[in-house]
C-alpha cells in the first residue's frame, strides 16, 4: 500500500503568514483587477493589470521573504553561539571561545538541524526572487536587438524543445506544474519521457523561458533565468526527490539509479543546436545597417 507523503510545511513569516498565502492573494487581486479593467475600461485598473506590475510585486515579495530568512538564519546562529558558550562550553557570558570551539558548536545536532532548515528556507525564497526577477528584466532591461540574427535560431530551438518536453511530460503524468512546490504523484512515472530523465517538466519549462529570452535578445533575462534554474536544482529538486523516495521506496531508488536528472535532454538539445548551426550558419549572415534618411548628412 502506498504511503501518503505530505509536502514539507512552508516556513512562516511575520504573524504566521506564508509566501503561499501572499502568492494566493496577489493572484486573486491581479486577476480580479484585470477582469474589472476589461469590463469597465478603466485606464487606472488597466495600468495596474499590466503583467510587468504583477511580476514586480511577486519579485519584491520574494525578496522580502529572502531578507527575512537571511536575518533569521544569522540570528539563530548567533543565539546558538551565545547559548552554547555558557551551557556547553562552560565559559563566562562575557568571554569568547576560540575559533576551534566555535566550529564545534556548529556541529552540534540541534544547531545543525535548525541551521539547515533556515538555509533551505533562505535558498527557497532566493529561488523565487530570481525567477520573478527574470521577468522583471524583460521589461526593465531593453533587448539587444543587434544580436537577434545570431541568437534567434538557437533560442527558438531551445524554446520549442523545452515546450515539447514539458508538454510531453505533462500529458504522460496527467498533471502540469510550472515550477511550483514539490508534490508526490499518485503513481511513479518510469516510462516514456521519464525513462530518459527524472525532471522533464522542470527542465522543459526553464528551457522554454531561457530559449524565449535568448531568441528575443533579452540577455539579462536569460542570464537571471539560468541562475534561477541553478537555485531550483539546489533547493526544490532535492526536496522533491526526498519526498518521492519516502513515498515509493525501493521502486524510486532503482529508477533514480539508472535515470539521470537532466543529462539525456541536454545532450539531445546540444545535438539539435549543433545541427541547426551547421545547416544555417547564422554568423555568415551580414548584419544590414539601414541607410540614413534622405537629405540628412551622415
Q: Contact 265/29 with Cβ under 8 angstroms?
A: no
Q: Could you tell me how far CA 40 lies from the centroid of its own chain?
A: 36
Over range 134-138, report the average pLDDT.
88
Closest-CA residue to 183 (of 6, 36, 1): 6
**For residue 4, what is the DSSP state?**
P
Statement: residue 227 has pLDDT above 70? yes
Nearest to 228 by CA among 297, 146, 127, 153: 127
What is the pLDDT, as a whole number, of residue 145?
78
pLDDT tens profile 254-286: 988 888 888 888 888 888 888 877 777 766 666
Q: Does pTM surpass 0.85?
A: no
Mean pLDDT of the chain: 76
Please write the tens of the pLDDT for every residue from 164-196.
999 998 888 877 776 666 677 788 888 888 888
Q: What would the pLDDT profile of 230-253 be if each residue is shown by its tens digit?
A: 888 888 888 888 888 888 888 888
Amino acid at each position: 500500500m502506498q504511503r501518503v507523503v505530505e509536502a514539507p510545511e512552508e516556513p512562516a513569516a511575520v504573524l504566521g503568514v506564508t509566501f503561499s498565502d501572499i502568492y494566493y492573494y496577489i493572484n486573486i487581486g491581479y486577476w480580479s483587477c484585470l477582469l474589472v479593467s476589461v469590463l469597465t475600461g478603466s485606464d487606472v485598473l488597466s495600468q495596474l493589470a499590466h503583467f510587468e506590475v504583477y511580476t514586480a510585486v511577486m519579485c519584491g515579495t520574494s525578496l522580502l521573504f529572502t531578507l527575512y530568512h537571511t536575518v533569521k538564519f544569522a540570528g539563530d546562529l548567533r543565539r546558538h553561539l551565545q547559548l552554547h558558550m555558557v551551557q556547553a562550553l562552560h565559559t563566562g557570558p562575557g568571554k569568547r571561545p576560540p575559533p576551534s570551539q566555535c566550529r564545534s558548536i556548529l556541529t552540534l545536532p540541534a544547531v545543525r538541524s535548525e541551521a539547515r532548515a533556515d538555509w533551505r528556507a533562505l535558498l527557497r525564497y532566493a529561488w523565487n526572487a530570481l525567477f520573478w526577477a527574470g521577468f522583471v528584466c524583460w521589461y526593465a532591461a531593453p533587448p539587444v536587438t543587434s544580436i537577434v540574427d545570431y541568437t534567434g535560431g538557437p533560442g527558438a530551438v531551445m524554446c520549442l524543445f523545452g515546450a515539447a518536453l514539458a508538454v510531453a511530460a505533462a500529458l504522460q503524468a496527467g498533471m502540469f506544474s510550472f515550477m511550483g512546490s514539490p508534490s508526490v504523484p499518485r503513481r511513479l512515472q518510469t516510462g516514456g519521457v521519464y525513462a530518459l530523465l527524472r525532471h522533464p517538466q522542470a527542465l522543459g519549462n526553464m528551457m522554454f523561458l531561457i530559449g524565449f529570452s535568448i531568441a528575443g535578445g533579452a540577455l539579462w533575462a536569460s542570464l537571471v533565468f539560468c541562475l534561477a534554474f541553478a537555485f531550483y536544482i539546489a533547493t526544490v529538486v532535492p526536496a522533491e526527490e526526498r519526498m518521492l523516495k519516502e513515498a515509493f521506496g525501493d521502486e524510486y531508488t532503482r529508477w533514480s539509479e539508472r535515470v539521470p536528472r537532466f543529462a539525456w535532454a541536454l545532450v539531445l538539445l546540444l545535438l539539435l543546436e549543433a545541427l541547426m548551426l551547421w545547416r544555417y550558419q547564422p554568423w555568415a549572415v551580414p548584419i544590414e545597417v539601414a541607410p540614413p534618411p534622405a537629405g540628412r548628412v551622415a
